[in-house]
């Protein structure tokens, strides 16, 4: 009913435009507007003090939606009559100010939410079901409804088009919007989505934590050794030796060739790997399985391990239990799953103890319906003309890109009514397209072409009917474009034409690949 009340407010007749300061007197169900401040054109330091921008004049609205979903809405004086909601990474808990900057600078009204908790409080979810629901799906939706109502009040008209842009957990939020609330947005961008949240935590974060525990731990100093060996074995499989694997599924590199002498049981050394370390690499690449062999979560892909956003950050960190997977997994299991701040990841059961479900099943049963954005039935979103642009880095060291492929193919089967694969994908392509990004790490960075104007591509599709078959992307280093490549709508891949620079996107064609 609370969501319905906000929806009814949106359906009310529009009044004359209200000034920024007057918005504090706006009465909307379950919404409290704490402040509405006119920000002049000029330098503006983001509220989290991470950067200062040269901002256009805008109205900064700060508010709360029942019970404790905080949000901000920025309303530019020179409005382009569109709205952009932005997502949150990790476990949310703060306004995504950085993600609001570009939409604001380009004339969009833009909003973000903390989804109902503060990231500065690690135990925010402990015995607090409402906060978990708000984080899982409700917070983004009520932020969207509130923002649209305030936009209408301020400008005297509804936005002509509404878009959502999120990556990682924000990608999960994006898919959740398309699945649960198909009327919220005309176009949605879902990047590297943490869609299958429960299996990402059990078969992704925890699996990597366990692999990197004890003798299996690999120091960050060894990651370049692994990366160089992968490139030597697989880089040229796509016809170009450029440090980027176009399709890592074709790479069948066995890390045992990096074993320390004599054989895999030899002593540790800076340029080789012990038996336990090799076993850990295999576990991470193979993916999480139960003892009986059932796949829980696909593994990470080989390639792109090196770099500031690669394995050093996400997989190994500064020591056992210190990588990015542990930083998300530990609090997730302690405060959201087992309600025990002293929970130890070594106690997790991948198989069912006698008489009990496995811990994997327990997590699925407790949080799956709230957290997982895996419903493949997007026909309601399709029917209202919505467009979904999904992308995923092939070298993502946090979330396996195979999860995005799996979800896309499930949607194609539902939308195509179980037709043959090619016909199902054709039926899906009118509203949903997936782009795999070779060499891109988690949401950005890596050796591949990771920079592209996603929102412009989506707008062209929604507003002008120009469905993207390929997207030109760039690799940027020290603020300079060093390479461009096309990203191809799945399942097509970029193939070099055989002449001209391999760093120029115009010399590549998108074609259907042979089986990997």
Read off the pLDDT of residues 300-312 as tens digits, 9 standing for 90 and up. 999 999 999 999 9
Rounded mean pLDDT of 480-487? Answer: 97
pLDDT of residue 263: 52
Residue 355 clears pLDDT 90, i.e. is over it: no
What's the chain's length in residues?
516
Quick one: which of 64, 73, 96 has its CA closest to 170?
Answer: 96
Judge whether 510 lies within some domain.
Answer: no
pLDDT tops 90 at residue 504: yes
Mean pLDDT over residues 302-329, rounded?
A: 93
Would 388 be classed as within a structural domain?
Answer: no
Q: Exposure pattern of 69-98 as b/e (b: 16+ CB <10 Å)?
A: bbbbbbbbeebeebbbbbbbbbbbbbbbbe
437 assigned to some structural domain:
no
- 366: domain range? 199-370
Residue 409 lies in a domain: no
> Which residues are identified as catalytic?
168, 396, 442
Judge contact between 23 and 150, C-beta under 8 A.
yes
pLDDT band with cut points at 50, 70 and 90 for residue 441 = very high
- What is the average per-residue pLDDT within 365-370? 98
Query: What's the whole-number mean pLDDT along residues 68-80?
Result: 98
Binning pLDDT at 50, 70 and 90, where does residue 266 land?
A: low
Please check the confidence at residue 139 and state whether its pLDDT lies above 50. yes
Helices (H) and strands (E) in the chain, counts: 16, 17
Q: Do the domain assignments include residue 504?
A: no
d(CA 146, CA 299): 39
pLDDT tier, 4 (very low <50, low <70, confident <90, very high otherwise): very low
For 220-305, where are the alpha helices, taking DSSP H only? Answer: 223-234, 275-286
- Note whether residue 233 is domain-resident: yes
Contact 103, 84 (CB under 8 A): yes
Residue 358 lies in a domain: yes
| Domains in the chain, number | 1
Average pLDDT over residues 357-363: 91
Q: What confidence score (pLDDT) does residue 15 get? A: 55
> First and final CA of the chain: distance in angstroms?
50
Res 268: pLDDT: 80
Nearest in space to 248 (alpha carbons), one of 199, 284, 193, 285: 285
Q: Check: CB of residue 110 under 8 Å from CB of residue 100.
A: yes
Is 424's pLDDT higher than 80?
Answer: no
Q: What pLDDT is recorded for position 5? A: 44
Residue 452 CB coordination number (10 Å): 19
pLDDT confidence band for 290 (50 / 70 / 90): confident
- pLDDT tens digits, 151-206: 999 999 999 999 999 999 999 999 999 999 999 999 999 999 999 999 999 999 99
Q: Which two tokens stand for residue 198?
A: 């429960």
Confidence of residue 426 (pLDDT cuts 50, 70, 90): confident
Averaged pLDDT for residues 396-414 = 97
Mean pLDDT, the chain, rounded, equals 93
Considering only 11-15, 289-293, 477-481, which range has the smallest mean pLDDT?
Answer: 11-15
On whether residue 290 sits in a domain, the answer given is yes
């Amino acid at each position: 009913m609370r969501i319905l009340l906000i929806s009814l407010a949106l359906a009310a007749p529009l009044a004359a435009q209200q000034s920024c300061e007057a918005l504090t007197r706006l009465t909307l169900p379950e919404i409290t507007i704490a402040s509405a401040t006119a920000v002049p054109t000029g330098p503006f330091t983001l509220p989290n003090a991470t950067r200062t921008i040269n901002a256009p004049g805008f109205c900064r609205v700060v508010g709360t939606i029942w019970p404790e979903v905080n949000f901000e809405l920025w309303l530019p004086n020179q409005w382009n009559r569109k709205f952009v909601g932005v997502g949150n990474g990790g476990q949310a808990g703060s306004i995504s100010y950085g993600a609001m900057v570009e939409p604001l600078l380009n004339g969009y009204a833009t909003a973000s939410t903390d989804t109902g908790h503060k990231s500065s409080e690690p135990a925010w979810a402990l015995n607090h079901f409402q906060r978990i629901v708000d984080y899982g799906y409700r917070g983004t939706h009520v932020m969207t409804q509130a923002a649209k109502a305030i936009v209408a009040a301020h400008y005297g008209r509804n936005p002509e088009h509404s878009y959502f842009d999120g990556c990682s957990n924000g990608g999960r939020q994006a898919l959740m919007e398309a699945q649960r609330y198909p009327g919220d947005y005309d176009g949605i961008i879902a990047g590297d989505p943490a869609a299958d949240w429960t299996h990402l935590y059990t078969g992704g974060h925890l699996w990597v934590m366990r692999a990197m525990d004890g003798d299996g731990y690999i120091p960050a100093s060894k990651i370049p050794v692994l990366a160089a060996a992968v490139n030597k074995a697989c880089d040229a499989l796509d016809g170009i030796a450029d440090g980027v694997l176009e399709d890592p599924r074709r790479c069948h590199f066995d890390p045992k060739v990096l074993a320390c002498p004599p054989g895999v049981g030899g002593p540790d050394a800076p340029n080789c790997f012990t038996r336990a370390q090799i076993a850990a690499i295999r576990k991470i690449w193979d993916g999480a399985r139960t003892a009986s062999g059932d796949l829980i979560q696909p593994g990470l892909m080989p390639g792109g391990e090196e770099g500031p956003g690669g394995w050093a950050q996400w997989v190994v960190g500064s020591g056992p239990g210190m990588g990015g997977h542990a930083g998300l997994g530990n609090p997730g299991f302690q405060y959201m799953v087992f309600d025990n701040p002293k929970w130890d990841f070594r106690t997790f059961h991948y198989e069912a103890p006698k008489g009990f479900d496995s811990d994997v099943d327990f997590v699925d049963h407790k949080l799956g319906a709230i957290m997982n954005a895996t419903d493949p039935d997007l026909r309601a979103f399709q029917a209202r003309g919505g467009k979904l642009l999904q992308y995923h880095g092939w070298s993502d060291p946090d979330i396996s890109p195979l999860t995005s492929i799996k979800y896309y193919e499930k949607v194609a089967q539902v939308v195509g009514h179980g037709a043959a694969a090619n016909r199902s994908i054709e039926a899906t392509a009118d509203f949903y397209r997936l782009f795999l990004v070779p060499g891109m790490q988690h949401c950005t960075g890596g050796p591949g072409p990771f920079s592209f104007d996603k929102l412009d591509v989506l707008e062209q599709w929604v507003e002008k009917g120009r469905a993207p078959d390929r997207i030109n992307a760039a690799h940027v280093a020290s603020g300079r474009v060093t390479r461009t490549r096309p990203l191809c709508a799945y399942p097509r891949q970029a193939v070099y034409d055989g002449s001209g620079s391999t760093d120029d996107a115009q010399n590549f064609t998108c074609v259907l690949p042979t089986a990997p």
